[in-house]
Amino acid sequence: MFTDEYFMKMAFQEAQAALEKDEVPVGCIVVYNDRIIARAHNLTELLNDVTAHAEMQAITAAANMLGGKYLIDCTMYVTLEPCVMCAGALAWSQLSRIVIGARDEKRGFINKGLSLHPKTEIVSGILENECSALIKDFFKSKR
């Protein structure tokens, strides 16, 4: 039951919640022992805050839930490849595993030559088509 697809669907629901608020639709959850300990979606417009990406909020919320600042033994599911800021935060967090929906060739950390923490396992391409379509349709509607 607790497959990567299962949890990515939860992250995708967060992205849809962002879309309903006319935010760039990116969603994210953090899982520890098959339990969701943080859910977040992009809120940069609502909060007037460029740092309010889904991943940043989820890192803070998960650490708060765990009572410690490191996300060891946690998996983050995020619908879009993290940007430089979020990748930097994830590196500090020592997250154990990240599962990415769609790649972000332009703004994502991978093409910037950055890496996360050396112990972080990276998986990508889970629900890729749905995650990618959600964000592409959003930007198309804005043009």
Residue 138: burial class (beta carbons within 10 Å; 0-12, 13-18, 19+): middle
Residues in region 93-122 near a second copy by CB under 8 A: 93, 112-114
What angle is formed at CA 40 by the lines to CA 38 and CA 45, rounded to 5 degrees? Answer: 155
Among 5, 6, 34, 69, binds a second copy (CB under 8 A): 69
- Between 71 and 90, how does the x/- string for binding to a second copy read (CB under 8 A)? ------------xxxxxxx-
Beta-strand runs (E) in the chain: 27-32, 35-41, 74-80, 97-102, 121-124
Q: Which residues are catalytic?
A: 55
- Between 2 and 41, how does the x/- string for binding to a second copy read (CB under 8 A)? ----------------------------------------
Question: How is residue 97 written in tokens?
Answer: 């595993």
d(CA 83, CA 60): 17
**Does residue 59 touch a second copy according to CB under 8 A?**
yes
Question: How is residue 6 written in tokens?
Answer: 């299962």
86 is in an annotated binding site: yes
Binding residues for a second copy (CB under 8 A): 44-45, 48-51, 56, 59-60, 63-64, 67-70, 83-89, 91-93, 112-114
